[in-house]
Amino acid sequence: MTKYRVTLDYETDAENLDEAITLFVDAFVDYVETGIINEKLIITVSRYAEEKDTREGHCKIIKFRAKKRHIEHRRVSWIGRSHAPDFFVMINGGEWVETKRPGEKPRAGQLTEHEKMKAAGCRVFVLSTFEEVEGYIADLQAARLPKKNN
């Protein structure tokens, strides 16, 4: 049996929680009845459980969780060059993220690119398991929290 994760997000400028919930429910009911999605209703469906330990699954998790936490990120590819990391995450001055299948290591060209980035002062992360991806996302969330002044 295939398991799916369905996530609903709704952006609103409601005055209070009751109004926000009412607007969300109305938008969702309209979608169910008409098939037309309100521009404020975001529906994400993924085969999360099956894909979580694949490279593409890792990329989907990072994209979904970063977007949900309002962390700017970009999927990356070089033009005319090889060995680009998978993501640039715009936090802490910018971080590069490389995703791999479980147990897989970066290729020699990727390691060379990572070393150049580190030498330039960039942070580079290589994530190859679901747990590493989840840990990275948790660290991103912690980095976004406002610092308390003592």
pLDDT tens-digit series, residues 118-140: 999 999 999 988 888 888 888 87
pLDDT tens digit sequence for 56-92 = 777 888 887 788 778 888 989 889 888 999 989 888 7
Contact 71, 31 (CB under 8 A): no
The Cα–Cα gap between 105 and 4 comes to 29
The answer to whether 127 and 98 have CB atoms below 8 angstroms apart is yes
The overall pTM is greater than 0.95: no
- Burial of 38-62, coded b for 16+ CB within 10 Å and e otherwise, reads eeebeeeebebeebbeebebbbbbb
- Span 52-144 CATH architecture: 3-Layer(aba) Sandwich (3.40)
